[in-house]
Structure 1
Amino acid sequence: MSGTLRNPSIRSGRSFDLGKMNLRQLWIAYLTYPTILLYFALIAISFALAIHFFAGEGPTLTAVLAVMLIYPVVWYLLHRYILHGHLLYKSRFTAALWKRIHFDHHQDPHLLDVLFGGPATTLPTIGAITIPVGWLIGGPGAAATAFCTGVTITCIYEFFHCIQHLNYKPRARWIQRMKAYHVLHHFHDEDGNFGITSYVVDRALGTYYVDARSRGRSPTVFNLGYTIEQAKRYPWVMRLTGHAPKDRPDGASRPESERNPQRNSRQVA
């Protein structure tokens, strides 16, 4: 893939470094990334099943709308209470899972390989959320529709998530705001702005903030509370990482907007 992009400097170890990529390079990496290709294949299969077991226009539309409403709420709850929770790293049996699904991403937010959720955890979660909802609405046809919608939303989330860590200033003002709020989540205080494309749930539950002046900088924004002290008590993530938890990422070139999130937030507020 690096040959296709003709810029080996955008790679950091085994992963693409979004801090060194432009928008064109991101499109190429995204559209050829194995996880995204798997998602595209599952979208096509579930769409075909939705047609084969067509539940009717009403149930089909209802299933789509239901998933669109439920998905941001479930993502918020998982992001806040599971991915940012401390329970998983306290067990040797779940430490590797927590490290892969979120700790690595906060340790270095620009690495593409750890930005995408792993299919082994992401797809069962999507299925558990969407298939029962669709089935209750309209049987197998609506269940396939709901799953198709969930995977499609995941692809959209993943692309915009990449944009938020890309060395690129979006032209659209609404994307600039979206990016600024997510930058704050990664570089100022991780206990807020849990959304990706929407911060409606953050607003409703009191975790939304617009700039760095709204709250103090968190000392655990890069390690999610897995400090040196915690690593000594629960060493499994540290052993897998090969070094102590970092209090800031390294090896990635950050754009100016992410080096100064307060300034960036004022510009787009």
Structure 2
Amino acid sequence: MSGTLNNPSLKTGRSFDLGKMDLRQLWIAYLTYPTILLYFALVLASCFASAHFFAGWSKTLCAMVAVVLVYPVVWYLLHRYVLHGRLLYKIKWTAALWKRIHFDHHQDPHLLDVLFGAPVTTLPTIAVITLPIGYLIGGLGTAAAAFGTGVAITCIYEFFHCIQHLNYKPRSAWIQRMKARHVLHHFHDEDGNFGITSFVVDRVLGSYYVDAKARPRSPTVFNLGYDVAEAARYPWVMDLTGAPPRDRPDGARPEQKRAAA
């Protein structure tokens, strides 16, 4: 592969298109991406804080396990009922937030810089969920451990999320299945398969499906319900985009459409 767009470098000042990158290029882009570097630094800082206010191994591990168990449930609820909800784009003051954190990603699922959540929204969310859990278990030390665990899980989620949009077929069968389910979420019916690395909550709450035969294709899979008619009523996202909402992303490739068919 050649071309500046497909050569991950912070110096290009251009978006990375996962649909045109291979695994090696993804690793380079991921490990040099400012958001991920910030997350790594926060995980390290959390380790130091947890050690400084150490509450003992049992409480520390308990806080970490609690976050591991709670994280996918919280992610599911936010993803399904907030990011896929229609309230945020109907309010002028939250339209830009919704556009950045999810609409842009569904409009073009291959762009790396809109795939990663913005730290200004992601980190406060992680803090609100993890810090109280950790603090209640053992004070400041376990609060730091819980927060660091939440940020570390986010890094893992973000990497596998990239894999799911990458021009690459994983060797591992379980990663292939995970990627196939997420591709369905983006290219067949967005009202299902809300998980990233696990679909346990989807199974429990009835939003899991294994292939395109399980349900009809959604007409709003790329615009999340913010179509031209909605844009006329609530124009703020369209004004920020500079164009009407699209019914399919520019980066959709034939093989992805076949996978969702």
Alignment correspondent of 2:97: 97
In the TM superposition, 1:7-156 aligns within 5 A as 7-10=3-6, 14-156=14-156
The Cα shift of 1:186 comes to: 0.1
Structure 2: segments with no counterpart, 5+ residues: none
> Which one-letter code corresponds to 1:8 in the other structure?
T
In structure 1, what is the Cα distance between the partners aligned to 2:89 and 2:13? Answer: 25
Q: Which runs of 4+ in 1 moved over 4 A?
A: none
Aligned to 1:15, what secondary structure does the other structure show?
coil
Length-normalised TM-score, structure 2:
0.96
Q: Deviations over 1:117-167 (max 9, x none)?
A: 000000000000000000000000000000000000000000000000000
Question: 1:86/1:132 Cα in 2 relative to 1: closer, same or farther (>3 Å)?
Answer: same
Counterpart of 1:223 in structure 2 is 223
Label 1:166 to 1:255 Cα distance change in 2 as closer, same or farther (>3 A): farther
- Measured after TM superposition, the shift of residue 6 of structure 1 is 6.3
**1:254 CA displacement:** 3.0
CA distance 1:75–1:168, change in 2 (3 Å): same
Deviation at 1:74, TM superposition (A): 0.2
In 1, Cα distance between equivalents of 2:46 and 2:257: 42
Task: For residue 8 of structure 1, report the CA deviation from its aligned partner.
Answer: 1.3
* Change over 3 Å in CA distance of 1:149–1:216 after alignment to 2: same
Q: Which runs of 5+ in 1 are unaligned?
A: 264-269
C-alpha contact 1:49 1:141 (8 A) present in aligned 2 = yes
Structure 1 residue aligned with 2:257, among 232, 235, 259? 259
Deviation at 1:260, TM superposition (A): 1.3
Looking at structure 2, the residues matched to 91 and 236 of structure 1 have their Cα atoms a distance apart, in angstroms, of 8
State the 1:259 CA deviation.
2.3
3-state DSSP of counterpart to 1:260: helix
Task: State the Cα deviation string for residues 9-40 of structure 1 (Å, max 9, x = none).
Answer: 42798310000000000000000000000000
Secondary structure in 1 aligned to 2:45? helix
Quick one: distance in 2 between partners of 1:123 and 1:62? Answer: 22
How many corresponding residue pairs?
Answer: 257
Q: Is the 8 A contact 2:5 2:15 kept in 1?
A: no
Q: Partners in 1 of 2:116 and 2:260 — Cα distance? A: 26
Task: Provide the rounded CA distance (Å) in 2 between the counterparts of 1:253 and 1:188.
Answer: 12
Q: CA RMSD in A?
A: 1.5
Question: Are the counterparts in 1 of residues 187 and 260 from structure 2 also a CA contact under 8 Å?
Answer: no
Q: Report SS of the residue matched to 2:139.
A: helix
**Cα 1:6–1:51 shift into 2, 3 Å:** farther
Query: Cα–Cα, structure 1 residues 225 and 253, in superposed 2: closer, same or farther, change >3 Å?
Result: closer
Equivalent residues of 1:20, 1:253 under 8 A apart: no
Matched-pair contact (CA < 8 Å) for 2:21–2:166: yes
Match runs of 1:207-246 below 5 Å: 207-246=207-246
Per the TM alignment, residue 7 of structure 1 is displaced from its structure 2 partner at its CA by 3.6
Supply the distance in 2 between the matched residues of 1:88 and 1:155 (Cα, whole angstroms): 26
> Identity of aligned pairs, percent?
74
Alpha-carbon separation, structure 2, partners of 1:36 and 1:68? 19
Query: Cα gap change, 1:255/1:44 in structure 2, threshold over 3 Å: closer, same or farther?
Result: farther
